[in-house]
């Protein structure tokens, strides 16, 4: 009897974790498609296939939901964007995959950051994550950089690999991923060669 109860408890816990994850994924997906003001609890609940009461029971409030979604999204981004200082072209490929998957949604958030506190928190954290990714990806090259030039070099590498650089070529110019990759690598090489 004890074994059956343990199994039932584990199944319930797994179901609760799956429901929580589905709600967070629905929130992140909606935030990538709609202004945050339109990401209402009913819209999230409908996307996740649950009731508004379920969302409130798990997260307490819309603010609680958004805070949990921020943490969940940050963990996803970190997992999607590993930095390999021994394989810069491979790291650029991973970055471009990330931009292809989340770039348009991030641009939507960036457009709201002046008046939407949640968007400001997400985009501020995103800028810090990108700078950290640059410092890890280009760690070998940065070791050779004079201390007085390091910040400027990191700034240049951040700009060379930035979401807006991707947008300029991929969305504004309509270039294919291969062309975007080639241009981004040329910019990165130009910065690294001047160290």
Taking only the tens place, the pLDDT of each residue in 61-79 is 999 999 999 999 999 999 9
Q: How many residues does the chain have?
A: 195
Residue 14 has pLDDT above 80, yes or no: no
Domain end point (choices 49, 80, 111): 80
Token pair in block for residue 92: 């650029």
Domain end point (choices 80, 96, 112): 80
Measure the CA–CA gap between 41 and 55, rounded to whole angstroms: 7
112 backbone dihedrals φ, ψ, rounded to 5°: -105, -5
How many other β-carbons are positioned within 10 Å of the β-carbon of residue 172?
Answer: 9
Q: Are residues 129 and 151 in the same domain?
A: yes
Domain end point (choices 60, 80, 100): 80
pLDDT band at 16 (very low <50, low <70, confident <90, very high): confident
pLDDT band at 195 (very low <50, low <70, confident <90, very high): confident
Structural domain boundaries, residue 29: 1-80
Alpha carbon of 133 to those of 8, 52, 80, 102, 166: distances in Å? 42, 37, 11, 16, 16
Q: Are residues 94 and 162 in the same domain?
A: yes
């Amino acid at each position: 009897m004890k074994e059956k109860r343990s199994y039932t408890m584990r199944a319930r816990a797994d179901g609760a974790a799956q429901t929580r994850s589905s709600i967070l994924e629905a929130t992140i997906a909606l935030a990538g498609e709609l202004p945050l003001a339109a990401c209402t609890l009913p819209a999230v609940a409908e996307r996740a296939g649950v009731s508004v009461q379920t969302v409130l029971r798990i997260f307490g409030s819309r603010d609680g939901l958004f805070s949990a979604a921020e943490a969940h999204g940050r963990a996803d981004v970190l997992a999607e964007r590993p930095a390999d200082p021994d394989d810069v072209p491979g790291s650029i490929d991973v970055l471009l995959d990330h931009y292809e998957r989340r770039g348009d949604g991030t641009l939507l958030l960036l457009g709201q950051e002046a008046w939407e506190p949640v968007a400001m928190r997400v985009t501020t954290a995103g800028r810090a994550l990108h700078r950290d990714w640059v410092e890890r990806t280009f760690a070998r090259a940065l070791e050779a950089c004079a201390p007085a030039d390091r910040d400027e070099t990191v700034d240049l590498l951040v700009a060379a690999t930035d979401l807006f650089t991707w947008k300029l070529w991929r969305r504004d110019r309509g270039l294919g991923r291969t062309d975007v990759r080639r241009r981004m690598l040329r910019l990165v090489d130009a910065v690294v060669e001047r160290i």
